[in-house]
Chains A and B, each alone.
Chain A
Amino acid sequence: MSLAAQAPRFRATVILALFTMVAAPAGLIIYQSFLSAPFFDEAARPSLEAYEFILTDPEFYRALWTTILYAVGLVLIAVPLGGLLAFLITRTDLKGRGWIEPLVLVPMFLSSIVLAFGYTVAVGPSGFVTIAFRSVFGAAPWSIYTLPGIILIGGLSHVPTVYLYVASAMRRLPSDLEEAARTAGASIWRVSLDVTLPMVLPALVFSAALNLLLGFETFGIPLVLGDPNGILVLTTYIYKVNSIFGAPTYQVMAAVTVFLILITLPLVFIQRRLLRHARRFAAVGGKGARTNLLKLGRAGQAIALSIIGLWLLVSVVLPVGGVVLRAFVENWGEGVRLSEQWTLANFRAVFAIESLSRGIVNTILLAAVGGALAVGFYLLVGLAGHRNHGRTGTLLDYSILIPRALPGLIVGLAFFWLFLFVPFLVPLRTTLFSLLIAYVIVGLSYGLRIIQATLLQVAPELEESARTAGATTFRTWRDVVIPLVRPGLAGAWAMIMIVFLREYATGVYLMGAGTEVIGSLMVSLLTSGAMDQIAALSFISILLTAVGLTLALRLGAKIHD
C-alpha cells in the first residue's frame, strides 16, 4: 500500500460511476436478448426465441461469414501496406516524407460513411471516374458494390491505423541495436530484415488484432457499399433486421449483438495481452535521432513514390475528391460538362431543411463543448485510476474494455433504451446530453489512453514532494498534476473533438428531433437516397474535420502515441 490508497472514496465513486455507465448498456442488451419481446413490453417473457430465429436464418449465417471475410481481408490488406508505408516513411530517405505523412493519416480522421460515400460518387456505377473511364475506354471493369470491392476499400481505409502503430514502434527503436548489427557486418537491408522487422513485429501483430476487431465492428462502409447488392455484415444485419420484420425487434437485434460480443470480447482481451507484450519490447528504450536512413536509390525512389502515390490516389484523392466534386454539382453523366454545372444548390437545400442545419450546429456543439466535457470526465477517471493499484484500479481496467467490444451502433441503441425507460434519464433524451453520454462511452478507451499517457508523464516525486510539503491528494492534483498536464489536455480535447466529429453510428438510434448530428443524418438520408444533401453534409464534415485537425496540430496534440 502506498500513496495510491489515498482519496479512496473519490476513486471508488468515480470508478463505480464509470462502471455503471459501461455495464448498464451491456447488461441491458444481454438481458433483452433472452426475452420474447421488447423489455418494456408487459408481454415479455424469458425466452430463447431470438436466438432460435437468428440460428435458423440463412441471412444471419451469410452476414456472419461475410463479416469474417471482411475482417480477415481488411487485415490482410491493411497490415502489409501499413507496415510498408511506415517503413518507407520512417526508415528510408524517401523524398517528400514530411508532407506525405499527414496525407497518409487522412482516411483515419474521416468518418467511414463519408469515405464510403466518396467512393460511391467517384468510382460507383455512375461515379465521376467510372463515367469518364467508360467514355474513353468504352467500359469500366470494376464494381465496388461487390464483396471484394468492399474488402479492398475497407482495407485501404484502415492502413493509417496500422501505419500509426508500426511507425511509432520504428521510431522508438533504439538506433544502437541497428548500428550494432551494421558494425557486425550486416548490410543495411539485412539489418532491416534481421533486426528492425523482429523488433516491430509486436506492433504489427497488435495492429492486426486491432484491425480485426475494427473489421468485426465496422458499419459505415458495408452499409453504403454493400446495401445496393444486399451484402450484409453483422452490424448492418442488426440495422436491417427491423425492415425485415417491419417492426422493431429488439430481442433479435440484441441476440445478434451478443453473438458479436462473443467474437469481439476475446479479441479485446488478446489485444490487451499483446499491448503489454509490445510495451515490454518497446521498454528497451534508447535515443531517437537516427542518422542512418536507408538509401533507396533512383529506382527505389520511383517505385516507392509510385506505391505511395497509387495508395494516396485510391485512398484519399478518389473519395475526398469525389465528395468535393459531388457537393458542388447536381447533374452529371455522359456528355455533361461538369464545368457548366457548378452550383451551391446542395448547400442551399441543406440549410433550408431545419433538421439538417440543426444537425450541423449540433455536431459542432457536441464536438467542441461535448469534447471538452468528455476530456473533463476522462481526466476525473484518469485521476481515479492514477497510481491506483488497488481493487478499484482493476475494476477500471475492465470497465474500459467493455465498450471496446461494443460497436457504436449498439452503444447508441442501448443508451436509447436506457434514456427511454430509466426515470431520471428520460428528460435528458431529447437533449444533446443523451448523445454526449453515449459518445463519452464510445470514445472512452481512446480518450482515456491519451489522458493516462499524459498523467504518467508527471514524475511520482513531483506529487510526493507536494504531499510531504503538506498538500492533500486533491490539493496535489490541483496544484501539481493538473497544471503539469494542462498542455496535454488541450491536445487531448482536439483529438476527442475529431473523434466526436466523425462519429456516425452512435447517433443512428439515439438521435431524435432536435438532437440530429451530421454522421447519423447521412445514415438516415441513405435510405431515402437524398444524395445531394449527403454530398453537402459530407463536404461540411470533411471541412470540420480539417478545422479540428488544424486546431489539434496547433495545440500540439500527439497523433503518434
Chain B
Amino acid sequence: MTDLVVDNVQKWLGGLQILSGASFVAEKGRIVALLGASGSGKTTLLRCIAGLEQPEIGSIRIGGATVLDDKAKIALPPEQRQIGLVFQSYALWPHRTVFENVAYGLKLRKIGTGEIKAKVEAILEKLGLAHLAARYPDQLSGGQQQRVAICRALVYEPKVLLLDEPLSNLDAKLREEARFWIRKLILDLKICAIMVTHDQAEALAIADQVLLLKGGGIVQSGTPLEIYSKPETFYAADFMGTNNVLSGRLVRTSGQDDTIDCAGLSLAGIWRDREPPADANSVRAVIRMEAISVSPEPSPDGAPFDVEGCIYLGEKWEYRLKRGDLRLRAQGHEPLGAAIAHCRIPASATWLYNP
C-alpha cells in the first residue's frame, strides 16, 4: 500500500529555487533514502513532508490523506500529518525523562495512562532501553539518545517515519551497527520510512529505494543495486563510489563497442547516459576504481602505466598511475614493486556519459 505520495513539490527561498519539482512514492514496509550532496535540497524535501516548511507548489499525501495541495489550498500543520520525525540532533526534551519523552506523542493522542505505560515500556524494551526509562536525556550516551529519539517517533505508530541524517552523530562502529538494526526494526514494524543522508554507503545499506537529489530535483531513483551499478547520468555515476573520470572524444563504429579517445589512449566502453551523445568531441568516461585490474606482468589487453606511488589503506593498496597526461587510481592487494604496471580496463566498466 502506498503510504506517501510526493508530487511535483517546488519551493523557493527568495528568488532561489530550493526544490524544483520532486516527485516520488513510498510504500509501507519500505525504506526510501534521499541521498545528495549538501545543498541538494534533501533536508528541505523532508521538512516539506513533515510540514515544517511550506512549499509553494505541489501536493503530498500521507496514508491516503492529502496534507498538502497548493491548488486546493491545503497545508496541514505538522501535528496533523501523522508522522514521526527523528532529528539529526535527536532533539530530546531535556526537561523530560526518557519515559516522558517517548510518552508525549501518546499523551497528545489522548490515550489512557495504562495503555501509554504499556506501549512505552514495550517499545523501550524492544530497543533495549527499558532500564533507562527514568533517566534524563543528558544522562544518556549518544547511541542511547538516538534510540530514544527513534522510540519517541515510532511509539504512536505514525503513517510515515522521517529520519534526518539519523546516524551522523554516532561514531563509526555504532553507525555500522545502527544501519543494520534500524533497517530490521522498520521492516519488522512494516511502516514507511524516509531517510535523509549524504553518506552513500548508509543509503545503500539501509534503503530499499534510493533517490539521488541534485539542485532540488531527483536525478535518479532505483534500488541500491541499480543506483550503484547502472547510473544513468554522469552526475549519478560520479556521485556514487570512488571513480576515475576521463574526458575525451567519442568514436562510434557500427558493429563494434563505442570507444573514447583521451590523451592518446583509446578505451572501449558502453554508452550509459539516458540521453544520446550531444557532442561526440566532448564526452566523459567513468570507471569505478575497483573495476580496473592492475598487474606487474604485461598482458595482451593491458596498457602500460607509470607507477607514481602506492598508498597503504589497511585492507588494500591504492595505486596512483600515470600515462602522459592521463592519471588513474586503482587498487589491489599487493604493493607494486616495478616502475611500470599494466592495467586492464574492461569495456563493460567504462561507462560513457554526456558531461
Contact = CB atoms under 8 A, between A and B. Distances in A.
A470 B105 contact: yes
A543 to B, nearest CB: 36
A259 B109 CA distance: 59
Nearest to B102: A469
Contact of B95 (A1, A470, A472, A484): A484
B84 A468 contact: yes
Given A459-B89, A461-B87, A469-B156, A2 B79 contact: no
B93 interface: yes
B77 interface: yes
Contact of A464 (B78, B94, B104, B156): B78
A464 B79 contact: no
Interface string A461-474: 11011111111110
29 contacts: A1-B53, A2-B52, A2-B53, A6-B77, A459-B91, A462-B93, A462-B94, A464-B50, A464-B78, A464-B87, A465-B91, A466-B104, A467-B51, A467-B77, A467-B78, A468-B51, A468-B52, A468-B78, A468-B81, A468-B83, A468-B84, A468-B85, A469-B108, A470-B105, A471-B79, A471-B108, A473-B77, A479-B104, A484-B95
B194 to A, nearest CB: 13
A480 interface: yes
B152 interface: yes
Given A461-B87, A461-B89, A475-B108, A468 B77 contact: no
Nearest to B77: A6
Q: Pick the 7 closest A-B CB pairs, nearest first.
A: A461-B91, A468-B85, A469-B105, A467-B78, A465-B91, A470-B108, A1-B54
A465 B105 CA distance: 10
Interface string B98-109: 000000110011
A288 interface: no
Contacts of B153: 468-469
What is the interface residue range for chain A against chain B?
20 to 34
Interface in A1-45: 1-3, 5-6
A390 interface: no
A86 to B, nearest CB: 33
Interface of B: 50-54, 77-79, 81, 83-85, 87-89, 91-95, 104-105, 108-109, 152-153, 156, 162
A483 interface: yes
Contacts of B51: 467-468
Given A467-B78, A483-B95, A5 B54 contact: yes
B152 A469 contact: yes
Contacts of A467: 51-52, 77-79
A473 B81 CA distance: 14
A472 B85 CA distance: 15
> Which of B78, B81, B108, B152 has the largest count of A CB atoms less than 10 A from its CB?
B78
B77 A472 contact: yes
A468 B92 CA distance: 13
A446 to B, nearest CB: 27
A465 B83 CA distance: 11
A469 B104 contact: yes
Nearest to B86: A465
Contacts of B93: 462, 465-466, 480, 484
Nearest to B85: A468
Contacts of B54: 1-2, 5
Contacts of B88: 461
Contacts of A465: 85, 87, 91-93, 152
Given A470-B105, A475-B108, A462 B78 contact: no
A222 B190 CA distance: 77
B94 to A, nearest CB: 7
Contacts of A468: 50-52, 78-79, 81, 83-85, 153, 162
B77 A462 contact: no
Given A462-B94, A469-B108, A483-B95, 6 more contacts: A3-B78, A5-B54, A6-B77, A461-B91, A473-B77, A475-B108
A462 B104 CA distance: 13
A464 to B, nearest CB: 5
A1 B68 CA distance: 14
A470 B109 contact: yes
Contacts of B162: 468
Contact of B79 (A1, A5, A461, A472): A472
A474 to B, nearest CB: 11
B179 to A, nearest CB: 23
B225 to A, nearest CB: 32
A5 B153 CA distance: 24
B87 A470 contact: no
A484 B93 CA distance: 9
A470 B91 contact: no
A321 B177 CA distance: 70
Interface string A439-478: 0000000000000000000010110111111111101000
Contacts of A5: 54
A456 to B, nearest CB: 16
Contacts of A2: 52-54
Nearest to A475: B108
Given A461-B91, A484-B95, A469 B84 contact: yes
Contacts of A475: 79, 108
> Which of B88, B104, B153 has the largest count of A CB atoms less than 10 A from its CB?
B104
A121 to B, nearest CB: 50
Nearest to B50: A468
Contacts of B52: 2-3, 464, 467-468
A466 B79 CA distance: 8
Nearest to B83: A468
Contacts of B92: 465
> Which of A5, A465, A467 has the largest count of B CB atoms less than 10 A from its CB?
A465
A371 B91 CA distance: 33
> Which of A5, A470, A472 has the largest count of B CB atoms less than 10 A from its CB?
A470
Contacts of A472: 77, 79
Contacts of A484: 93-95
Contacts of A3: 52, 78
B302 to A, nearest CB: 53
B12 to A, nearest CB: 11
Given A469-B104, A472-B77, A472-B79, A464 B95 contact: no
A57 B169 CA distance: 71
Nearest to A479: B104
Nearest to A465: B91
Nearest to A464: B52
A138 to B, nearest CB: 68
Given A1-B54, A471-B108, A475-B108, A464 B152 contact: no
Nearest to B53: A2
